[in-house]
């Protein structure tokens, strides 16, 4: 529950009007594209042709318009850090009166936003970037399925067609940069009509990847502005370790996947297809290349008033293949509000607000703790649902794909790896003497404990 004082601040802010100066861009036909049922709508998009390239306009919820720095609401948001999503509940970063109401880019409602305008050439490379405060009105709230259907049937509006074009171009630019987007099927907890839960493997639609490229594009543009400003907050990820790449090459060989010596891993990963069992195992193993994501605050004193933190010559996010910042999900992430303010100041040629500079040194620690809690919470939710689904079926046999062979056998001769079931969509630990990576095998459910959030299979 939100503290009463913080909730009261949010309710008062939601009743406010747009008195501050903003560009009126209600003439632009923005739409939102999100999972079905989403109410916390951070972004709305419009893409147009410029004759020699594209103009991408990205309207992002302006949370700073509703929060007083240092107030009760701000304090509570800092304590939370991120929104936590569970199967049947959510712990929102901002009270719902804001995150699902006055700050959310709901259709046919005037909303305060931070408006990004990015020009691209015909190959999808970034040209000019500007960012300002504006008021917009989204025309429609599309689901990914609706957007994909419109594109596939030829009934999509011109802006959506251009979004798909830009998405494909930016995917190619990502590969050129050495960036990687992994198409790994996600375990998703779904609620049945009777209120019970199930697990499904969810594959992404093409439009989801194209839409994600718009967010990545904006984050890259934001990092550029912050480097120019000499102050900011980047999202970072160290390069894959050479030993991890060698291990992934060994995995490819074990799975019968051809990986020529002169092909870098980013290019290789773009060619595999997760619907194939061996490829799914390979992609699952590939996620281990990208560990150690964090935030880097620079241009400000370190926590506790230490020496000013400089920005390295190369502070790239390894999976993006470029310097990158979080600025497109402010309703769900605390850090985005601060990084956005730096970009607004740089674009307008003015100083970064003092409340931003004061908070920046502490944000990496705050966000690191929050995202760790978020990951643990989501994993625990899935673990509980997995155990609950399987508990009545202990002793039964299932068909599964080995996605982790556990490496070298233990002294007792057993390997301890992981398997993925298709129905139900469970990923769990397995132990056995033979765990052939990427192959379908029969496994027996040995244990399913809801209390311990533990599932264990055995293989011959």
Q: What's the pLDDT tens digit per position in 151-209?
A: 999 999 999 999 999 999 999 999 999 898 877 666 566 666 776 666 666 667 899 99
Q: Residue 375: which residues within 8 A CB-CB, separation 6 or more?
A: none
pLDDT in tens, 216-233: 999 999 999 999 999 999
Average pLDDT over residues 434-456: 90
Which tokens in the block code for residue 302?
């370190």
Model pLDDT for residues 69-80, shown as the tens digit of each residue: 999 999 999 999
Return phi, psi of residue 217, to 5°: -55, -45
Strand residues in 184-225 grouped as ranges (E): 186-191, 197-202
272 or 160, which is more confident? 160
Are residue 148 and residue 219 in the same domain, yes or no? yes
Q: How far is CA 366 from the centre of its chain?
A: 18
Rounded Cα gap, residues 97 and 8, in angstroms: 10
What are the tens digits of pLDDT across the range 297-317? 999 877 666 667 788 888 899
Q: Is residue 295 included in any domain, yes or no?
A: no
Distance of alpha carbon 331 from alpha carbon 336, whole angstroms: 9
Question: Does 447 map to a domain?
Answer: yes
For the chain, the maximum distance between any two Cα atoms, rounded to a whole number of angstroms, is: 71
Residues 328 and 222 in one domain: yes
pLDDT band for 86, please (50, 70, 90 cuts): confident
User: Please, which pLDDT band fits residue 128 given cuts at 50, 70 and 90?
Assistant: very high
Q: What share of the chain is helix, strand, coil (3-state, %, to 5)?
A: 35, 25, 35
Q: What is the pLDDT of residue 180?
A: 86
336-358 CB burial, b ≥16 within 10 A, e <16: bbbbbbbbbbbbeeeebbeebbe
Q: How confident is the model at residue 13 (pLDDT cuts 50, 70, 90)?
A: very high
Listed in order, strand segments (DSSP E) in 254-313 are: 294-298
Indicate if the pLDDT at residue 323 is higher than 80: yes
User: Do 210 and 265 share a domain, yes or no?
Assistant: no
- Taking the CA of residue 440 as centre, how many other CA atoms within 13 Å lie in the half-sphere pointing to its CB? 7
Confidence of residue 377 (pLDDT cuts 50, 70, 90): confident
pLDDT given for residue 37 in this prediction: 87
Q: Which residue, 353, 373, 404, sits at the end of a domain?
A: 353
Query: Is residue 88 very low, low, confident or very high in pLDDT (cuts 50, 70, 90)?
Result: low
Residue 78 located in a structural domain: yes
Residue 423 falls within a domain, yes or no?
A: yes
* Region 341-364 average pLDDT: 96
CA distances (Å), 213 to each of 94, 167, 328, in order?
26, 6, 12
**Is 388 within a domain?**
no
117 plus 151 within the same structural domain: yes
Average pLDDT over residues 254-265: 83
Same-domain check for residues 110 and 252: no
Q: Judge if 216 and 271 occupy the same domain.
A: no
Asked whether residue 297 is assigned to any structural domain, the reply reads no
Structural domain that includes position 442: 394-458
Q: For residues 331 and 97, is the Cβ–Cβ distance under 8 A?
A: no
- pTM for the full predicted model: 0.87
The β-bridge partners of 199 are 189
DSSP character for 310?
P
Q: Does residue 211 sit in the same domain as residue 122?
A: yes
Same domain, 282 and 430: no
Total of domains in the chain? 3
Q: Judge whether 173 lies within some domain.
A: yes
Q: Residues 66, 95: one domain?
A: yes
**Residue pair 219/235 in contact by the 8 Å Cβ criterion:** yes
Shared-domain flag, residues 346 and 277? no
131 pLDDT above the threshold of 90: yes
Structure tokens at 400: 């599964």
- For residues 350 and 397, what is the distance between their CA atoms, to the nearest angstrom? 65
């Amino acid at each position: 529950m939100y503290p009463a004082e913080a909730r009261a601040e949010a309710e008062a802010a939601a009743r406010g009007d747009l008195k501050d100066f903003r560009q009126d861009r209600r003439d632009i036909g923005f739409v939102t594209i999100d999972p079905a049922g989403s109410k916390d709508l951070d972004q709305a998009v419009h893409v147009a042709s410029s004759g020699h390239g594209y103009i991408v306009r990205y309207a992002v919820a302006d949370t700073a318009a509703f929060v007083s720095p240092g107030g009760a609401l701000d304090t509570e948001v800092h304590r939370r850090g991120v929104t936590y999503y569970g199967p049947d509940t959510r712990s929102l970063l901002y009270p719902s009166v804001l995150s699902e109401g006055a700050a959310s880019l709901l259709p046919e409602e005037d909303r305060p936003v931070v408006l990004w305008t990015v020009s691209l050439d015909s190959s999808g490379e970034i040209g000019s970037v500007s960012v300002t405060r504006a008021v917009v009105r989204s025309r429609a709230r599309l689901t990914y399925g609706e957007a994909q259907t419109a594109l596939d049937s030829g009934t999509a509006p011109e802006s959506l067609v251009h979004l798909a074009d830009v998405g494909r171009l930016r995917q190619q630019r990502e590969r050129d940069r050495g960036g990687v987007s992994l198409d790994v099927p996600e375990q998703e907890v779904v609620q049945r009509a009777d209120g019970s839960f199930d697990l499904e493997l969810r594959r992404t639609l093409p439009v989801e990847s194209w839409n994600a490229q718009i967010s990545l594009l904006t984050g890259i543009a934001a990092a550029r502005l912050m480097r120019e400003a000499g102050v900011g907050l980047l999202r970072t990820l160290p390069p894959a370790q050479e030993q991890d790449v060698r291990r992934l090459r060994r995995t490819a060989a074990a799975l019968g996947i051809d990986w020529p010596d002169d092909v870098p891993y980013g290019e290789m990963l773009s060619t595999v297809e997760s619907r194939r069992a061996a490829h799914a195992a390979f992609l699952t193993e590939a996620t281990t290349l990208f560990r150690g994501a964090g935030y880097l605050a620079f241009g400000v004193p370190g926590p506790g008033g230490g020496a000013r933190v400089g920005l390295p010559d190369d502070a790239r996010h390894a999976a993006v293949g470029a310097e990158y910042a979080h600025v497109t999900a402010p309703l769900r992430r605390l850090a985005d509000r601060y990084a956005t303010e730096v970009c607004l100041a740089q674009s307008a040629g003015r100083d970064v607000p003092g409340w931003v500079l004061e908070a920046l040194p502490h944000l990496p620690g705050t966000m690191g703790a929050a995202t760790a809690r978020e990951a643990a919470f989501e994993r625990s939710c899935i673990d509980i649902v997995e155990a609950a689904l399987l508990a009545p079926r202990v002793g039964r046999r299932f068909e599964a794909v080995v996605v982790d062979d556990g490496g070298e056998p233990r002294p007792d001769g057993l390997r301890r790896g992981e398997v993925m079931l298709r129905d139900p969509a469970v990923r769990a630990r397995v132990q056995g003497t033979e765990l052939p990576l990427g192959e379908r095998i029969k496994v027996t459910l040995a244990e399913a404990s809801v209390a311990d959030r533990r599932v264990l299979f055995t293989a011959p």
